[in-house]
């Protein structure tokens, strides 16, 4: 069986980091996860990440000369500890209120708040008007919050958490995997007879500025009630809301 090692690579042009699995036998690239900001190297262990193959891996293989190995321990102030909110540290009522206000600002039909835990991203609050009408609030919440998300670089929520960058998509199904480092997974839509269109995902920071979660809003509506993309003004308004709310996380 081929032994492998996990290490960080730094892209010389963009300074983004990628976690890779490399064969110890012939140095071939086997799997990858990324891109990440340098801060991630200080707070996320390589073994916590979900490594994948496919277009992203082929892209890395074709540009291997553009990368160099990255030693996270050489960074000033390195360390892997981060104060991540635990169950009970932030009340579900407070998170639900945050999601409610973010939806009001954007007229979003649905939304989710994830907080980071060692095993990945935990669903803390979730709303979906269509499912609530169809199944009732309790059943809709069960369907929306069942399980958790691994730290997988191909998911939008994980991309936002690990790169600290917002994602604003007019149509989640119109994302080309060869153009973006993330991909929309339609499995939940298919399971629940739902159609995600516009999506806005923003990082949630604590009082120190560390990213500890993700706010994701789905299907904005215009003043007439028709589905519409999330505007730049709406994105800015939610960003201001999150700045104020971050003080709750110390």
Query: 89 pLDDT exceeds 70?
Result: no
Tokens (6 digits) for 153 = 């670089």
Query: 186 pLDDT exceeds 60?
Result: yes
- Under a CB-based contact definition with an 8 Å cutoff, are residues 238 and 202 in contact? yes
CA gap 98, 52 in Å, rounded: 33
pLDDT digits (tens, 9 = 90+) for 196-210: 999 999 999 887 778
Cα–Cα separations (whole angstroms), residue 115 to 87, 97, 249: 10, 15, 11
- Under a CB-based contact definition with an 8 Å cutoff, are residues 33 and 6 in contact? no
Q: What pLDDT does 83 receive? A: 46
Q: What pLDDT does 81 receive? A: 41
Q: What pLDDT does 2 receive? A: 55
Q: What pLDDT does 188 receive? A: 85
Q: What pLDDT does 75 receive? A: 53
Q: What pLDDT does 185 receive? A: 84
- Domain map (residue ranges) of the chain: 4-74, 92-249
In the predicted model, what is the mean pLDDT of residues 147-161?
79
pLDDT digits (tens, 9 = 90+) for 111-120: 999 988 877 8
Q: What pLDDT does 76 receive? A: 41
Candidate ranges 49-53, 66-70, 86-90; pick with highest mean pLDDT: 66-70
Q: What pLDDT does 66 receive? A: 87
Please, which pLDDT band fits residue 1 given cuts at 50, 70 and 90?
low
- What's the pTM? 0.68
**CATH fold of 92-249, please?**
Beta-Lactamase (3.30.450)
Query: Which range is least confidently modeled, 3-7, 39-43, 123-127, 168-172?
Result: 39-43
Q: What pLDDT does 202 receive? A: 94
Q: What pLDDT does 78 receive? A: 37
CA gap 29, 13 in Å, rounded: 20
Beta-sheet strands, E only, within the chain: 4-11, 17-23, 29-36, 49-50, 67-70, 110-117, 120-128, 148-149, 151-152, 167-169, 199-205, 211-218, 220-221, 227-228
Is residue 183 helix, strand or coil? coil
Tokens (6 digits) for 230 = 């999330």
Average pLDDT of the chain to the nearest whole number = 80
- Under a CB-based contact definition with an 8 Å cutoff, are residues 173 and 186 in contact? yes
In the predicted model, what is the mean pLDDT of residues 228-247?
87
Counting every residue, how long is the chain? 250
């Amino acid at each position: 069986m081929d032994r492998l090692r996990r290490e960080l690579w730094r892209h010389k042009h963009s300074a983004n980091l990628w976690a890779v699995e490399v064969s110890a036998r012939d140095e071939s690239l086997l799997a990858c996860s990324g891109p990440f900001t340098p801060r991630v190297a200080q707070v996320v262990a390589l073994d916590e990440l979900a490594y994948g193959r496919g277009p992203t891996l082929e892209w890395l293989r074709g540009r291997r000369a553009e990368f160099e190995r990255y030693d996270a321990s050489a960074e000033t102030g390195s360390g892997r500890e981060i104060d991540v909110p635990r169950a009970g540290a932030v009340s579900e009522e407070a998170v639900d209120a945050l999601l409610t206000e973010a939806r009001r600002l954007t007229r979003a039909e649905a939304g989710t708040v994830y907080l980071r835990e060692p095993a990945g991203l935990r669903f803390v609050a979730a709303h979906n008007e269509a499912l609530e009408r169809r199944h009732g609030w309790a059943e809709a919440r069960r369907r929306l919050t069942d399980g958790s998300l691994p730290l997988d670089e191909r998911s939008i929520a994980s991309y936002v958490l690990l790169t600290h960058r917002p994602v604003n998509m007019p149509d989640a199904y119109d994302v080309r995997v060869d153009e973006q480092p993330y991909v929309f997974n339609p499995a939940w839509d298919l399971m629940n007879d739902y159609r995600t269109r516009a999506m806005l995902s923003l990082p949630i920071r604590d009082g120190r500025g560390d990213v500890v979660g993700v706010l994701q809003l789905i299907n904005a509506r215009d003043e007439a009630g028709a589905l519409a993309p999330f505007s730049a003004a709406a994105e800015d308004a939610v960003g201001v809301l999150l700045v104020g709310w971050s003080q709750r996380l110390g």
